[in-house]
Amino acid sequence: MGHRTTLYPQHVQAGARFVDFAGWEMPVHYGSLVQEHHTVRGHAGAFDVSHMTVVDIRGLEAGRFLSRVLANDVRRVGPRKAIYSAMLNAEGGILDDLIVYPLNDEYRMVVNCATRNKDLAWLREQLAGDQCTIDARDDLSIVAVQGPQAISACLKAFPVAHHEVLENLKVFEGTPSGTWYIARTGYTGEQGVEVIVPNEEVVDLWQELNTMGVQPIGLGARDTLRLEAGLNLYGSDMDESVTPFESNMAWTVVLEDREFIGRQALTEQLARGVQRNLVGLVMDGKGVMRAGYPVFCDDRPVGSVTSGAFSPTLSKSIALARLSDTRGQMCVGIRGRKLNVEVVRPPFVKNGKQVFKPAISS
């Protein structure tokens, strides 16, 4: 039997169908993935993402440590701003992607569940006398509430003590609030919050959200929502074999003013020239692009799809693909046939609306 989150009994009660996700028994949907997807785009939904790992980095030199192990620079952002970053190996390969939240003068990271043990071992290996501690917080659960009505629903569902914090947080800010941590982050391209709460408080929070009409949403819709939002999934869209520059993550890399693990390799890659990048694909024809399908530019193979699905919002297939050339007629091979696709710059959907634009060929 796999790991279960504290909310497992609530998922069973809500009729969830479960899937094994990196050793965790997680709800994939509660009836219909597509209906859950539309609920988040049109109203609000709640996700149990407690399988992800919360890691606190505390101590006087926490900032110094993180600025050495992350490709983005935690010291360049304001006091309440969260940042998205890759953690790299010495070759510039992506060990994981994560969000770092400010925790007074210290930090809280949320890393992927499949990479938990690898990340913790790596972080501890990199502690070169820095005065800080690394703690995986298995006593905490994470609930994401996402959708155009997410904030107003949370103001109804959260205890009054948290209202002022919630009302004053701007997008991508996070801050502690009593025993909770509240952040205006998410993985859907909608307004919303992610709330980190003690395990013993999460059932009450979940039930209060349900009472206020916020439906539970499974990992299936989480995947189609994040793909529409053009957000990468670790293990599918990037891994240790690629750098941030090959993963549409150049905006998360700060090369200036410091040394960090992987910096040398990235600088060398820039000097040589980056040979491929992660782009968006949209297909108007009938069919669905899936991970691994080959992509062609004027009939030459130029890479493959890393994530693909049917987009419930756009009613057509969308994908992310890592490609070496997009200057020509683009096709995706689906079971031996080649179907035309358009290269776009993600995101595909933001705040419920189609937003993609044709990529500028370079």
As to burial, measured by CB atoms within 10 angstroms (0-12 exposed, 13-18 middle, 19+ buried), residue 350 is middle
State the minimum distance, in angstroms, from the CB of residue 28 to another protein.
8
Using CB under 8 A as the binding rule, whether residue 147 contacts another protein is answered as no
Using CB under 8 A as the binding rule, whether residue 288 contacts another protein is answered as yes
State the minimum distance, in angstroms, from the CB of residue 319 to another protein.
13
Q: Under a CB-based contact definition with an 8 Å cutoff, are residues 196 and 180 in contact? A: yes
The only residue of 176, 287, 328, 352 in contact with another protein, by rule CB under 8 A: 287
What are the DSSP calls for 102-133, one per residue? Answer: EETTEEEEEE-STTHHHHHHHHHHH-SS-S-E
Sign of CA dihedral 349, 350, 353, 354: negative
Which of 33/202 has CB closer to another protein?
33
Using CB under 8 A as the binding rule, whether residue 335 contacts another protein is answered as yes
- Tell me the sheet residues that pair with 100: 83, 109
Which of 166/341 has CB closer to another protein?
341
Sign of CA dihedral 276, 316, 292, 355: positive
Tell me, by CB under 8 A, how many residues bind another protein.
15
Using CB under 8 A as the binding rule, whether residue 30 contacts another protein is answered as no
Strands (E) in 6-114, as ranges, are 17-21, 24-29, 45-48, 53-58, 83-88, 94-103, 106-111
State the minimum distance, in angstroms, from the CB of residue 10 to another protein.
21
Using CB under 8 A as the binding rule, whether residue 340 contacts another protein is answered as no
Which of 31/301 has CB closer to another protein?
31
Cβ burial 137-150 (10 Å sphere, 16+ → b, else e): beebbbbbbbbbbb
Round to whole Å and give the CA distance between 128 and 111. Answer: 21
Residue 330 structure tokens: 């683009």
Using CB under 8 A as the binding rule, whether residue 145 contacts another protein is answered as no
Using CB under 8 A as the binding rule, whether residue 224 contacts another protein is answered as yes
State the minimum distance, in angstroms, from the CB of residue 310 to another protein.
4
State the minimum distance, in angstroms, from the CB of residue 216 to another protein.
16
Using CB under 8 A as the binding rule, whether residue 290 contacts another protein is answered as yes
The interaxial angle of helices 150-157 and 199-211, nearest 10 deg, is 110
What DSSP state is assigned to residue 181?
Answer: E
State the minimum distance, in angstroms, from the CB of residue 83 to another protein.
31
The only residue of 87, 309, 331, 343 in contact with another protein, by rule CB under 8 A: 309
State the minimum distance, in angstroms, from the CB of residue 130 to another protein.
43
What DSSP state is assigned to residue 160?
Answer: G
The only residue of 16, 33, 99, 193 in contact with another protein, by rule CB under 8 A: 33
Which of 73/223 has CB closer to another protein?
223
The only residue of 9, 13, 20, 34 in contact with another protein, by rule CB under 8 A: 34
Round to whole Å and give the CA distance between 359 and 342. Answer: 9
77 CB-side CA count, 13 A: 24
Q: Under a CB-based contact definition with an 8 Å cutoff, are residues 311 and 325 in contact? A: no
The only residue of 220, 262, 280, 303 in contact with another protein, by rule CB under 8 A: 220
The only residue of 27, 45, 63, 312 in contact with another protein, by rule CB under 8 A: 312
Using CB under 8 A as the binding rule, whether residue 294 contacts another protein is answered as no
Using CB under 8 A as the binding rule, whether residue 310 contacts another protein is answered as yes
Round to whole Å and give the CA distance between 28 and 194. Answer: 19
Using the contact rule CB under 8 A, the part of the chain among 31-39, 169-177, 274-282, 354-362 near another protein is 31-39
Using CB under 8 A as the binding rule, whether residue 355 contacts another protein is answered as no
* Interface contacts to another protein, rule CB under 8 A: 29, 32-34, 220, 223-224, 286-288, 290, 309-310, 312, 335
